[in-house]
Amino acid sequence: MRFCPYAQRAHLVLNAKKVDYHTVFINLTEKPEWLVEVSPLLKVPALQVVAEKGQPSLIESLIIAEYLDEKYPQNPLLPKDALKRAQDKILLERFNGITNAFMKILLQNTGLDDFWTALDIFEQELIKRGTRFFGGDKPGFVDYMIWPWLERLPVIEYVLKDNYNFDEKRFPKVAQLITLLKEDEAVKGFYATPEQHQEFWRTRKAGNASYDLLA
């Protein structure tokens, strides 16, 4: 689904690897009958590897992203060091605090404080690493896995209006990361503007999600 942040993760890795791929977008309200054949849990994203006929599709965004990173060694995203790789995966587990707060904001108009508190963890981690990206001098696995929600900050602003308060003084490293990632080729290859995100959420909230927008 074009506006699913989890599906966006897969596109980002494919773009970063410069791998040729074909995308089929679906309507999550009226799911096609064939979806169960490629995604038994009826979730997106799902990845079919054409060269490996007879093999089941892959589901779950982090599993797909890690598979792609290992399958296509060009521009490696996860650290080669086993400990650093494990630490990055733990950091992404902590990102659940942001994804949970994000949905709470969109569905209940509450949870903004929880969102900022969870984002504090990533601000402090960037300070600790002393690098522009979580991947060092270039975007890495963590950067691409969290980007879809940073791209959707305007949706929070759209929902909460004047109660939205992203503080660049509180999050200077994250603010810098957002600016840098907007210029990354992989990100630009699958980027939706704030206005496009807000329009999709407006239609979704109205009960008539515009799944064809940008598809």
Phi-psi region of 25 (alpha: psi -120 to 50; beta: other; left: phi over 0): beta
* CA atoms of 49 and 21, how far apart (whole Å): 9
The 3-state DSSP class for residue 1 equals coil
Centre a 10 Å sphere on the Cβ of residue 201 and count the other Cβ atoms it contains: 20
Residue tagged active-site, from 3, 4, 78, 99: 4
Q: Which residue is listed with tokens 């009958």? A: 33
> Which amino acid is located at 31 in the chain?
K
* CA atoms of 193 and 188, how far apart (whole Å): 10
Residue 58: φ, ψ to 5°:
-100, 145
Cα torsion 158, 3, 142, 112: sign: positive
Active site residue 160: no
Q: Which residue is listed with tokens 């791209």? A: 151
* CA atoms of 190 and 35, how far apart (whole Å): 23
Catalytic residue positions, numbered: 4
